[in-house]
Amino acid sequence: MQLLLTRIKLNRLRTVRRYSTPSLNDTYEAISVHNPRLNALPHIHPLDPTQEANGPLSGWSFAVKSNIASPLPTTCASSMLSSYTSPFSATAVTKLEHAGARMIGTSNMDEFGMGSLNQSSVHGPAHNLHPENGNVLHSPGGSSGGSAAAVAARMCRVALGSDTGGSVRLPASWCGVVGFKPSYGRVSRYGLVSYASSLDSVGILARSTRDIRDTFNIISAPDPHDMTCMSKSLRSRIDTLCASREWISHNTIASEPLKGVRVGVPSEFWVDELSPSAIDAWKRGAAKLESLGCDVIPVSLPHTPHTLPAYYTLALAEASSNLARFDGIRFGTRHPPTQSTRASLKYAQTRTMGFGDEVKRRILLGTFVMSARAYENYYLPSQRIRRLVQREFNRIFAMPNALCTTNTKTDARNVDKVDAILFPTATDTAPVQGSNNGLSAYVNDVMTVSANMAGIPAISVPFGLCEGMPLGLQIAAQYGDDDLVLRIARHLEPQPA
């Protein structure tokens, strides 16, 4: 009888999925059906039918990654913060609530955002909705896997995540939804528990680019609480640079809505780990963009092979510093030692008991990188590679980087320059949960970390299935050119029937 009722609920949800935008009641019904299996939302806000909200996002539901401050516990999926509730909400959460959206819960994640499989959570691993009729549970990706799984299962309309090296875009690809990482500083990081401060961005996941854009328009604004957030003057200069590109027109014919846009295909992303299905999707995506009026040309980013090791060197160095505050005195659940009263042992016991294995591994590596002997051999060369990666993107993009120029006009386009680039989001479809460990778990980030190293906007859109599992393609553009990324993605994503 219970199985029959579950099937009836699933059929109703599929009907809602095809023909309408789900109401809040439908959202909570989807949670009751899918969350026990997916473990996507460890904390759920109870539905209050008397609560009314007005605004441009009235009637919308959203989930918040567990490392973003909200009225619910901000646990970072860690024992260290298992009982912590923030005294304030993140700027992005506050803006969504003021716009009328309803927060329905916090989403599962890898502990402190460290992972790409969503299996290092104190709440247990999150799982992928796909394949919907399968018995084997696949990884939703990480570290924002709970957010992606919740969106895919219609447990919320949009979800907030954090993207340090692809933590929004990789789950989006594996779960068959849209995942957007804005330019660094577009969205305030106030209220986001830092992993690597110079790489972190608050990202958005949704089932359509239109919902991404509507959400982005609400949360993208200057914020005096975050000194890394873009100022009004910088945003204005970027808008002027974007508008000065005479070759990109918004008044295009319906059959070629992207006419004038030049898209590059970077050859360095054709890595050995790339699966045949990802290569096929990449080729089909390039062909579709050509049919929409784009000029698709090859480009080169020679330092891409060095980006992944440089990223992990810098990210772990920053993580070891950022996580030093979790000592049981300033932040974190305290675990006092049984015998010694030395202060250092008090810290050690708390951090040993509070952090999981993956977090402790990354803290140790990051501390080593910042040691006197390793600093010049690892950290400084990684910073040089990061600067070279940024310069390579500046070289191939037609629009100048607003951080590197005082010009307010884009020069005539060089024939070798492009407006955006297209490449796969992941090397393959989602693995079975628990089957992909060791070094291979770190390689998952090879397609995504470049955008974080350069601070540029990037978006993953679903582009087909391989044996019932989704695959995504990624679009990136110059720093600040978020609108063009969203525009291309809107035409590249599958259109509703």
Question: Is 231 assigned a catalytic role?
Answer: no
Q: How far apart are CA 129 and CA 134, in angstroms?
A: 9
Burial readout 390-403 (b: 16 or more C-beta within 10 A, e: otherwise): bebbbebbbbbbbb
Residue 116 annotated among the catalytic residues of the structure = no
Cα–Cα distance between 317 and 64 in angstroms, integer? 26
Q: Is 83 a catalytic residue?
A: no
Measured torsion, CA atoms of residues 308, 313, 314, 320, in degrees rounded to the nearest 10: 140
Name the burial class of residue 133, with classes exposed (0-12), middle (13-18) and buried (19+) by CB atoms within 10 angstroms of its CB: exposed
Hey, CA dihedral for 163, 165, 168, 171, is it positive or negative? negative
Q: How far apart are CA 421 and CA 267, in angstroms?
A: 11
Q: What is the DSSP letter of 455?
A: T
Helix (H, G, I), strand (E, B) or coil at 407: coil
- The residue annotated as part of the active site, out of 65, 95, 181, 346, is 65
CA distance 476 to 457: 6
- Residues paired with residue 64 on neighbouring β-strands, in sequence order: 106, 160
Catalytic residue among 143, 144, 147, 183: 143
Task: Please pick, among 89, 121, 167, 208, the residue that the annotation labels catalytic.
Answer: 167
Instruction: Report the distance separating Cα 47 and Cα 455, nearest Å.
Output: 38
Closest CA to 61 of 156, 185, 173: 156
Beta-carbon count within 10 A of 336 CB: 11
Q: Could you list the active site residues? A: 65, 143, 167
